[in-house]
Amino acid sequence: MKNTMLLIFMSIISLLACNDSKTQQSPELSKSIERGSIVYEDFCMQCHLPDGKGVPKAFPPLDNADFLMNKRKESIRAIKFGLSGKIMVNGETYNAAMAPLGLTDEEVADVMNYITNSWSNKNSKMITVDEVSKVQP
């Protein structure tokens, strides 16, 4: 009996230790993130790098980026329509232009879901195609 209880206890601890945010994502969000990773690889990785750290003084980080995580509409707008002018990310000023990428609203939503749930970023509120469609220049 003692060994059985210990085995059950150890199994529960193992399951809890392996339980990360991805296991709690909806299937819809998981699929969006998967599609978004392809968009990121094709359109974003060259400037923001595979680790989302960006290039200091040139291209802002996406990993642990206050602008991305706190300015959701502005971040969607930048991906959807491009960006010019100064922005502040994690206390640093960036002033490089980002050309419009020509992405569909679904691709914008997918890549936003990917970058807001990658590296050290965690976003529990899924970005939807409807939300993206409402963002104007």
Residue pLDDT, tens place only, 71-115: 999 999 999 999 999 999 999 999 999 999 999 999 999 999 999
Q: What does the pLDDT read at residue 70?
A: 97
Residues in the chain: 137
CB neighbours of residue 54 within 10 Å: 20
Q: What is the Cα–Cα distance from 80 to 137, expressed in whole angstroms?
A: 8
Q: Can you tell me which residue has the tokens 């050309």?
A: 99
pLDDT > 90 in the chain, percent: 81
The answer to whether the pTM exceeds 0.85 is: no
Q: Judge whether 109 and 127 are in contact, CB under 8 Å.
A: yes
